[in-house]
Structure 1
Amino acid sequence: MKYLPIPNTLFRKNRQKFMAQMMPKSIAVFNSNDTYPTSADGTMPFEQHSDIFYLCGADQEETILVLFPDAMDSKHREVLFVRETNEHISVWEGAKLTKEQAKAVSGIETIHWLSEFNKVFFDLMTEAHTIYFNTNEHYRQAVETQTREDRFIEKCKSEFKAHSVAKSNPILQQIRGVKEAEELELMQKACDITEKGFRRILAFTKPGVWEYELEAEYLHEFIRNRSKGFAYTPIIASGNNANVLHYIENNQQCKAGDLILMDVGAEYANYSSDMTRTIPVSGKFTARQKEVYNAVLHVKNEATKMLVPGTIWADYHKEVGKIMTSELLGLGLLDKADVQNENPEKPAYKKYFMHGTSHHIGLDTHDYGELKTPMKANMVFTVEPGIYIPEEGFGIRLEDDVVIQESGEPFNLMKNIPLEAEEIEELMNK
């Protein structure tokens, strides 16, 4: 891994939070992700499952975590199974975690090789009444591929028919949404790396540059700062490309007078950052571009102030919609009749601002976290309003990642990343 070691105290705390909510005589199992094939003998780069990483820090394939707080033998209350290495694997793939390393990374005392899992797990299941399965219940999930977790659940249901079943996800939604101090430090590091990439871009951008060249500049800066790369597929959208919300081709030339919307973020230690900035190719906004830019910035600033403990996510989005409506009226994009005659299910502002304003962020870019209960301190949300005007050939979105505080406005993890239009112009024209 490129990132520096993470204190295992973080993973100890995370496990304790999870186990505190488990039912008596219950056991929970968490599987690593598969290494997914492409074609021939190719595979995609391995990405650890966020839940098992959150609970033990083991960033390696073929790993299983078992939590059993009521196990009769105390050594079985936390058990980690890792892939046994050998000389062949060491030569061809590199070293895997030894038992001692797995213990140091996770803070778990009982480490077994994966080959021992079936025997140990059967023994533990004779003591357990309920098993927690870790299904993906994220509100945006649309997974069609069978996962390692899915196969494990099928096998368990076949072999242990008398056991009750419970869901890990509600517990994870609750505890993963509220970040520990160590997590906030890792997210700050990801945001700081993103800042380095953005400042590099401001010096590099000029008419004639290609979107993919900007993508490459970001990647260069991210990797040289211990990131493995982008936290998600980057959007480098010049001109009218910015009006395609998930434009990822990044293959067009940037023309003088156009704007470039860049939705990018570095990962660090599997934690995500998520930034959007919109800059002028020529280093200076036109009067109209700046007018729209400042409208988006105003909505962003006002929305940020609402992210405080007690706020309800759905109500927050309605309030942001009212602010955006006012700005669109001021820009002449809507008139009063549009607002008076709007369909409450699809407000008039949605013509120019069609996506949500905020989502949880953490180990996943669209992270786990409760959305139907009041917001809590140390939740981390993006704030990302935008105005998209195809008829004028540009779209503008601005986005930062902010931490809800016990009192006062959120703390902006991206406060050092240039945002004001005048500062961006000044840096681009140095």
Structure 2
Amino acid sequence: MKYEPIINDVFYTNRKRFCSKLKPNSLILLNSNDEFPRSGDQNHSFKQNADLFYLTGIDQEQSILLLFPDCPNPLYKEVLFLRQTNELIAVWEGHKYTKEEAEKASGIKTVFWLHEFDQIFASVVFYAENIYLNTNENDRYQHEVPYRDLRFIQKIKEQFPLHQYYRAAPIFRELRAVKSQAEVELIGKACQITRDAFFRVLKFVKPGVAEYEIEAEIIHEFIRQRSSGHAYNPIIASGINATVLHYNDNNHLCRSGDVILMDFGAEYANYNADCTRSIPVSGRFSARQKDVYQSVLTVMKEATQLLKPGTVWNTYHEEVGKIMTSELIKLGLLNRHDVEKQNPAMPLYKQYFMHGTSHHLGLDVHDFAGRYTPFAAGNVLTVEPGIYIPAEGLGIRLENNILITENGTVDLMADIPLEAGHIEELMNP
């Protein structure tokens, strides 16, 4: 791992909170993610199961966590199982956790090698009435491959068919949405690295540079500051490309007079930033570009004010839609009389702003949280309105990461330039 060690108190606290939600006499098993083949004899870069990392801080493949708070043998209340290294693995793959290092990272004192799991689990499982197992219940995800959790569930249920089984995901959905101070600081670190990459880009961009060159400047700054890389595939979209919401080709030249929409964020210690900025290739916005930019910024600022504990998702997005509609009318993109006659189920603003305004952010870029759960203090959300006008070859989106507190919101990206005039000043020193 490139990132600095994390104090294990955060993982101890997460385990304590999680175990308090379990039924009496229950245990839970969590697996690391699969290692996915890329091509031939290569794997994709390993990405840890966010739930396992949330409870342990362990960032290594082939790991299992066993939690059994009511276990009659205190030794097995918290157990971590790791892949045992050897000289051959060390030569070919590099360093793996020692038991001592795993204890220091996680705060879990009982650590065994993975090959000991079956024997140890068989010695405690019959003292539990309930077994909690985990799957990916993010409602944006659809799987076609039987990943490790699913294979593990099948195996466990075949071996121990008479236990009561429960889903761990609803507990994670509740807990992970509310960030601790330590988690906010890690997200803040990812935001700071993202900020520095943006400043680097502002100095670099000029007519004739390629989108992929801008992407290269960003990843250079990320890696230089101990980020593990992009939190997601970056969007570097100039001109008409900015009207494609998930544009990832990043292979066009940036032309004078165009605007570049850049959606990128650093990952640091598995926590993520998610930032979008739209800047003029030539260093100056045209009058029309600035008007559209200002409308997006207005929606962004007003939407941020709506983020309060107790706010409901649907109500929030409906209110943002009204704000956006008003701005689109000002820009001449919508007609007020047409809006008055619109079908409420198909509001006209979606012709130009067709995606959601916000999503939760944390260990996942689209972090695990309840879509129907009101916002709460400790939530970190994006605010990312946009206006996309293919006929004008113009797409503008702005996005910051916002922490909700009992006393208002905290913008974790407040130091990343946002005002159009400020961006022009920085591009024309």
Q: Give the TM-score normalised by the residue count of structure 1.
A: 0.99
AA aligned to 2:141 is Q
**Which position in structure 1 is the counterpart of 2:88?**
88
Which moved further from structure 2: 270-279 or 306-315? 306-315
Give every structure 1 segment of 4 or more consecutive aligned residues whose post-TM-superposition deviation is greater than 3 Å. Answer: none
Kept in 2: contact 1:312–1:371 (CA 8 A):
no
- Once residues 90 and 385 of structure 2 are traced to their aligned partners in structure 1, the CA distance between those partners, rounded to angstroms, is 48
Q: Cα deviations across residues 50-103 of structure 1 (Å, max 9, x unaligned)?
A: 010000000000000011111001121111001111111111111110111111
- Once residues 248 and 96 of structure 1 are traced to their aligned partners in structure 2, the CA distance between those partners, rounded to angstroms, is 34
How far 1:163 sits from its partner (Å)?
A: 0.9
Which moved further from structure 2: 308-317 or 370-379? 370-379
SS in 1 for 2:395: strand
- Once residues 343 and 119 of structure 2 are traced to their aligned partners in structure 1, the CA distance between those partners, rounded to angstroms, is 60
Q: Give the TM-score normalised by the residue count of structure 2.
A: 0.99
How far 1:343 sits from its partner (Å)?
A: 1.6
SS in 2 for 1:402: strand
- Once residues 122 and 318 of structure 2 are traced to their aligned partners in structure 1, the CA distance between those partners, rounded to angstroms, is 51
AA aligned to 1:27 is L
Is 1:427 the equivalent of 2:407? no
**Which position in structure 2 is the counterpart of 1:374?**
374
Is 1:268 the equivalent of 2:260? no
SS in 2 for 1:196: helix
AA aligned to 1:20 is S
**Which position in structure 2 is the counterpart of 1:203?**
203
Q: Cα deviations across residues 31-51 of structure 1 (Å, max 9, x unaligned)?
A: 001111112101101111101
**Which position in structure 2 is the counterpart of 1:413?**
412
**Which position in structure 1 is the counterpart of 2:119?**
119
**Which position in structure 2 is the counterpart of 1:63?**
63
**Which position in structure 1 is the counterpart of 2:351?**
351
SS in 2 for 1:382: strand
Superposed, 1:257-406 pairs within 5 Å as: 257-406=257-406
How far 1:125 sits from its partner (Å)?
A: 1.1
Superposed, 1:119-268 pairs within 5 Å as: 119-268=119-268
How far 1:346 sits from its partner (Å)?
A: 1.3
- Once residues 351 and 194 of structure 2 are traced to their aligned partners in structure 1, the CA distance between those partners, rounded to angstroms, is 30
Number of corresponding residues = 429
- Once residues 247 and 143 of structure 1 are traced to their aligned partners in structure 2, the CA distance between those partners, rounded to angstroms, is 23
Q: Cα deviations across residues 313-362 of structure 1 (Å, max 9, x unaligned)?
A: 11100100000000001111000232122121111100000000000000
SS in 1 for 2:426: helix
- Once residues 310 and 404 of structure 2 are traced to their aligned partners in structure 1, the CA distance between those partners, rounded to angstroms, is 10
Structure 1 unmatched runs, 5+: none
SS in 2 for 1:38: strand
- Once residues 27 and 69 of structure 2 are traced to their aligned partners in structure 1, the CA distance between those partners, rounded to angstroms, is 7
How far 1:386 sits from its partner (Å)?
A: 0.3
How far 1:144 sits from its partner (Å)?
A: 1.6
How far 1:220 sits from its partner (Å)?
A: 0.2
- Once residues 156 and 331 of structure 1 are traced to their aligned partners in structure 2, the CA distance between those partners, rounded to angstroms, is 59
Q: CA RMSD in A?
A: 0.7
Q: Cα deviations across residues 265-290 of structure 1 (Å, max 9, x unaligned)?
A: 00100100000000000000000000
Q: Cα deviations across residues 274-308 of structure 1 (Å, max 9, x unaligned)?
A: 00000000000000000000000000000001111
Q: Cα deviations across residues 358-389 of structure 1 (Å, max 9, x unaligned)?
A: 00000100001223122111110000000000
**Which position in structure 1 is the counterpart of 2:53?**
53
- Once residues 330 and 75 of structure 1 are traced to their aligned partners in structure 2, the CA distance between those partners, rounded to angstroms, is 67
How far 1:135 sits from its partner (Å)?
A: 1.2
How far 1:128 sits from its partner (Å)?
A: 1.1
- Once residues 341 and 200 of structure 2 are traced to their aligned partners in structure 1, the CA distance between those partners, rounded to angstroms, is 46
SS in 2 for 1:415: coil
- Once residues 398 and 124 of structure 1 are traced to their aligned partners in structure 2, the CA distance between those partners, rounded to angstroms, is 52
Q: Percent identity?
A: 57
**Which position in structure 2 is the counterpart of 1:2?**
2
- Once residues 255 and 143 of structure 1 are traced to their aligned partners in structure 2, the CA distance between those partners, rounded to angstroms, is 40
Kept in 2: contact 1:6–1:105 (CA 8 A):
yes
SS in 2 for 1:237: strand
AA aligned to 1:109 is K
- Once residues 338 and 127 of structure 2 are traced to their aligned partners in structure 1, the CA distance between those partners, rounded to angstroms, is 64
How far 1:415 sits from its partner (Å)?
A: 0.4
SS in 1 for 2:39: coil
How far 1:149 sits from its partner (Å)?
A: 0.9
- Once residues 71 and 188 of structure 1 are traced to their aligned partners in structure 2, the CA distance between those partners, rounded to angstroms, is 38
Is 1:79 the equivalent of 2:105? no
SS in 2 for 1:254: coil
- Once residues 296 and 75 of structure 1 are traced to their aligned partners in structure 2, the CA distance between those partners, rounded to angstroms, is 56
